[in-house]
Amino acid sequence: MRPLEGVTVLEFAQFMAGPSAGLKLADLGARVIKIERPVHGEAGRQIALKNLFMDGSSLVFHTVNRNKDSFAADLKDPEDLERIKKLIAQADVMTHNFRPGVMEKIGLDYAKVQEINPKLVYGTVTGYGTTGAWVKKPGQDLLVQSMSGFANLTGNKNDDPVPVGAAVSDIITGTHLAHGILASLLKRIKTGKGALVEVSLLESTLDLQFEVLTTYLNDGNKLPSRAEKGSANPYLGAPYGVYKTKNSYLSLAMGSLLNIGKIIGCNAIAAFEDPNSWFEKRDEIMAILTAEFIQKNTEEWITLLESQGVWCSEVFNYDDLLNHEGYKVLQMDQTLELLSGEKVRTLRCPIRMNDARLFSPKPAPRVGQHTADIIKEFNL
């Protein structure tokens, strides 16, 4: 048995952050029922990367909603709303990411739901919290990366702000929501009472930067300064960064600059004896290292550096990564077969339980695919 088997989650969430939390709970064994509008379903079915669709829904939808059921309901219809309330009375968890005030109008806000089911754990996702100047602003990953300062950590000194090319704000927020839900379920065992779990994209993205924000707050409020070239962290000195080699790129993590200089035979590095200079003269040092690393292939440098205990790595693209034996042994891939017969290759849950990988072959549902069965099962 997976640890959350027997837990029923009602997911009113759309797009990525809320549904990614539901995916994590589903992978751990929870029964996750998506509450979707009839016919069109949740709006995330039409949000696509590279305009890729399968079985009428976006490929992104299939990645984040596998292993779930779909119950179609019009929350403005009294009969459907009554069924939803009966379902809530029998559920363990409910999540949504509507803007503040929407659930209050429908009558499914936390206070009202508590009256229906005092033991329910109620999880919400907002963009920027429930009060303040930004409360009505769209909660979207790029906007939050930009507003949180996150986009000024990546790239080199003279680059414009560089957002991360993945939905990091959405995914970390979903992780925090799942974390809060699990903690509340544990507490419910002790108290018999539910809880309200609230997360926001902005707060989660700020938390993702806790080490660099703490540095800023305790270092005279000096803004992060990215390295001239090969920057990897605005607050770490040389050699930390990415370097071009003869055939590709090499990354170096924390380590003794003087030791690395000796290993690669770069005498110029010996002039930087003071560790403080490794940050203060970071650009000068990294330029010296770059001139050295460009002379040989990445594989030669990796062999030399790793043999001396230096933390380093190749810089892979997806082709390099997915064809490497180091990736294949992880068995991260899984294939889902849709009702249409199309197949989606995606990733499994990254958690292992009792040394077992958690694969979930059940694909994302069609809109309302399980409505009739759920009505019968829950006596709605």
Chain centroid, CA 11 distance in Å: 18
Please, how many CA atoms are within 13 Å of residue 64, restricted to the half-sphere of its CB? 27
Query: CA nearest 13: which of 41, 38, 53, 39?
Result: 41
pLDDT of residue 255: 87
**Strand ranges inside the chain, DSSP E:** 8-11, 31-36, 53-54, 57-58, 69-72, 93-96, 121-126, 195-200, 241-244, 249-252, 312-314, 333-337, 343-347, 352-353, 356-357
List Cβ neighbours of 47 (8 Å cut-off, separation of 6 or more). Answer: 15, 58, 60, 61
Mean pLDDT, rounded, for 99-125: 95
The domain spans of the chain are 8-208+330-377, 241-322
336-364 pLDDT, tens digit per residue, is: 999 999 999 999 999 999 999 999 889 99
Which CATH number among 3.40.50.10540, 3.30.420.40, 3.40.190.10, 3.40.50.300 corresponds to the domain 8-208+330-377? Answer: 3.40.50.10540
pLDDT of 99 strictly over 90: no
Q: Tokens standing for 149? A: 């300062």
At position 172, the amino acid (one-letter code) is I
Mean pLDDT, rounded, for 300-325: 96
Burial group, residue 119, by CB count within 10 angstroms (0-12, 13-18, 19+) = middle
Mean pLDDT, rounded, for 302-320: 96
Cα separations in angstroms, 39 against 13, 66, 74, 187, 338: 17, 19, 10, 38, 18
Mean pLDDT, rounded, for 189-213: 96
User: Tokens 């309200």 correspond to what residue?
Assistant: 196
Regarding beta strands 121-126 and 93-96, do their DSSP bridges make them parallel or antiparallel, or are they unpaired?
Answer: parallel
Query: CA nearest 285: which of 204, 326, 229, 222?
Result: 229
Whole-number Å distance between alpha carbons of 316 and 355: 28
Q: Tokens standing for 376? A: 């019968």
pLDDT of 213 strictly over 90: yes
Fold of 241-322: formyl-coa transferase, domain 3 (3.30.1540)
Do the domains 241-322 and 8-208+330-377 match in fold?
no
Query: CA nearest 337: which of 57, 55, 61, 51?
Result: 55
Residue 63: CB atoms within 10 Å: 19
pLDDT of 100 strictly over 90: no
Q: Classify 54 as helix, strand or coil.
A: strand
Mean pLDDT, rounded, for 48-68: 94
Enter the DSSP assignment of 151. G
Question: For residue 86, which phi and psi values (nearest 5 degrees)?
Answer: -65, -35
